A and B are shown apart, each in its own frame.
Chain A
Amino acid sequence: MAAIKATLNRLDAKGSPYLYVLPFFLLFGIFGLFPLIYTGYVSFNDWNLLDGGAHEWVGLANYREMLHDSYFWNSLGNTLSIWVLSTVPQLLAALWIAHLLNHKLRARTSLRMGVLLPNITSIVAVTIVFTQLFGRDFGMINWLLGLVGVGPIDWQADTWSSHLAISTIVMWRWTGYNALIYLASMQAIPHDLYEAAELDGASTTQQFWKITVPQLRPTIIFTTVISTIGGLQIMAEPLLFAGTSTPTGGSDRQFQTIALFMYEQGFREFRFGYASAIAWTLCLIIAVFAIANFLLTRRIAKDEE
């Protein structure tokens, strides 16, 4: 009897943790792994969505075509440009905001909650509002520029201006979110480090760079990787920024991102196989960037130490 009980106990201790994490892996298998593999399979086919899924195995033809497709490279360039323009200032600003919020302030909690507000608003609503702000004829930003004597800018027309506008939307939404993550991490930094630094006569700026940033290393790596994954997948903002829900990203594809290009090929051209090849390539690019990011930020943070 006791032996059975002991066995059960042992089973419970060894087995039940696996049972606890099982739901995640089940869900991941269904909603993550299966689509990933299936998309891979589709990408080797010439597959027209509208023909009721009629398809033909073509091997690497979709990938070959993609490498010679100037619109693919165009969308890749746009994605990288928007990613850099939004992620770098966003994370720096988040760090700075978190640093400010970490001080003793009046109404501290509401201020801290306040920075999260942009994040909980609907992405569609935000983009529509910003598209109005960046309007060519009656937008507020052009009006403000007019006050200081700068002529109106057709924000959608040019590559640089459309990228800047889209990056602004991304930054507005995600800076506060990252700031809160930094803030949470900052509060875990032992206070005696700062006290010791103060005794040694270090300024606030010095404390920030010599204590806060190195201590935040894992968090900075985390937010950089997460922002990179999000930034490379950006789609809703450029789609809505065009105003007419055409997935070409402007008259000359000047703000068509990879995700948008994939969407265009899949759901306007109904070239399911080609779109899947783009999806897989995007996945690989993100993986490469995430790893490169991880290595790079780890080195930078180490240098700071």
Chain B
Amino acid sequence: MRVNRSVRVIAAAMTAAVAMTACGSGDGGDSGSDKVTLSVSLFGNFGYEELYKQYEQAHPNIKIQERTADYNAHHRDLATHLATNAGAADIEAVDTGFIAQMREVGNQFTDLGTDRAAEYLPWKWQASLTKDGKQIGYGTDVGGLAICYRRDLFQQAGLPADRDQVSAAWASGWDKYIELGQQFTKKAPKGTAFFDGGGALYNAVIGQAPVGFYNTDNSIVVSSNPEVRKAWDLVVKAIQANLSAKLIESSPEWNNGFAKGQFATIACPAWMMAKIKDQSKAFAGKWDVAAVPGGGGNWGGSYLTVPKQGKHVAEAKALAAWLTAPEQQSKVFTTQGLLPSIPSLYDKPEVGALKDPFFNNAPVGKIFTTAAKELKPQYQGPRAGDIQTTIRDGLVRVEQGKQSSDQSWTQTVSDVERLAK
């Protein structure tokens, strides 16, 4: 009955939607002005609101509609739309974790050409390039890596709170980070852990390895690559030292955790700053940014793709190119902190010298462009996003005390093998 009900509601909604699209195509949209409505489907905050207005003003015949879903749902929806050849937006965002999967079905996307190849970070450009040399997505941002931390909590725990001191304290690597965490835990305010959750920390650590879950021939190396297990052991060590708030990234509880001050540090690719700002408004100025232990790495970063099934492919392509053009990437960095994937911007004062008052005037421009320059690009295979989720679940089992590290690792490896089927 339950599902029957919801199925009926969905069916009704779909019928209505079909009826509406039918009407829309019948009279060719707003017949008088020939207005084109472009839909843009995103996950999380891409910082495009202002840009849409600007674009609409410059192009009176274009109207832009944005829809957002959460990370997993968004990519699953996109894959479903591609499979059924219906329902995709004119522009669809794809994250690094899923770009390889989309690249495998590259014929479903509009070829964006090679005009802009020279602008981009080479590895960013390569990652969305199909085997036969078609470009399926314009890069938006790259992750880069830093650690965002709450200086007020550091002070309360008697740790140095100055960002240079903090960076120096763990400069030699993640072991020092864990040591500092143990010091923090001794005197930390009640209910505050050192970091948010094992899954998120893991993504940062593995993001620094030269090889992650895949070889460049698309074979999964989770069980054979020592880096994968090394990162696992490190995170388990941090969990067992009781440093984790045991929250799953982007879950409602995690959002809550920001407001309640449940954790003092968080692995912080540039895009994470936007999330922190959204969830942690009450602590503006109390956050700060320090360098990541163990040197540069990458976690995340996205692409804008134009699925072939869209009705307004040409207009969508133009909009995607504009949204990812250097000028706009630079604006998105200054407003939302998403790090550009166009390296010529890094030395521009409005990017490289940017300071962010929310993060206690940290020189985020310098920190993240340095991280991006140091970054060792890592090859991402088709199921990278799902492997990431599978490993997260494995670490959650350890956090929940359901399994030992070895038990959980064994199960994680066999779950990853299932994904490869």
Contact A245 B253 (CB under 8 A): no
Quick one: which of B1-34 are within 8 Å of A by CB?
1-6, 11
Residues of A close to B118: CB separation below 8 A: none
The chain A residue sitting closest to B402, CB to CB, is A252
The verdict on B372 contacting chain A, using a C-beta distance below 8 Å, is no
CB distance from A137 to the nearest CB of B (A): 7
16 A-B residue contacts at CB 8 Å?
A31-B11, A49-B79, A50-B105, A51-B105, A52-B108, A53-B83, A137-B253, A158-B402, A231-B2, A236-B6, A251-B394, A251-B397, A252-B402, A252-B411, A259-B3, A270-B79
Chain B residues in contact with chain A, CB under 8 A?
A: 1-6, 11, 70, 72-73, 76, 79-80, 82-85, 101, 104-105, 108, 246, 248, 250-253, 256-257, 260, 262, 386, 389, 393-394, 396-397, 400-403, 411, 419, 421
The main secondary structure of chain B at its interface with chain A is helix
The verdict on A229 contacting chain B, using a C-beta distance below 8 Å, is yes
The chain B residue sitting closest to A136, CB to CB, is B253
Contact A234 B397 (CB under 8 A): no
Contact A246 B402 (CB under 8 A): no
Contact B389 A267 (CB under 8 A): no
Contact B70 A50 (CB under 8 A): no
Chain A residues in contact with chain B, CB under 8 A?
A: 31, 49-53, 123, 128, 131-132, 135-138, 154, 157-158, 170, 173-174, 226-227, 229-231, 233-236, 243-246, 248, 251-252, 259, 267-271
Contact A245 B105 (CB under 8 A): no
A268 in contact with B76 given A50-B105, A51-B105, A137-B256 (CB within 8 Å): yes
Contact A132 B252 (CB under 8 A): yes
Closest 4 CB pairs of A and B: A230-B1, A251-B396, A49-B83, A243-B251
The listed residue (B72, B393, B419) touching A251 by CB distance below 8 A is: B393
A267 in contact with B80 given A136-B253, A244-B250 (CB within 8 Å): yes
The chain B residue sitting closest to A266, CB to CB, is B80
The chain B residue sitting closest to A268, CB to CB, is B76
Report how far A230 CA is from B257 CA in the complex, Å.
35
The listed residue (B6, B251, B393) touching A123 by CB distance below 8 A is: B6
Residues of A close to B251: CB separation below 8 A: 243-244
The listed residue (B80, B260, B396) touching A137 by CB distance below 8 A is: B260
Residues of B close to A226: CB separation below 8 A: 1
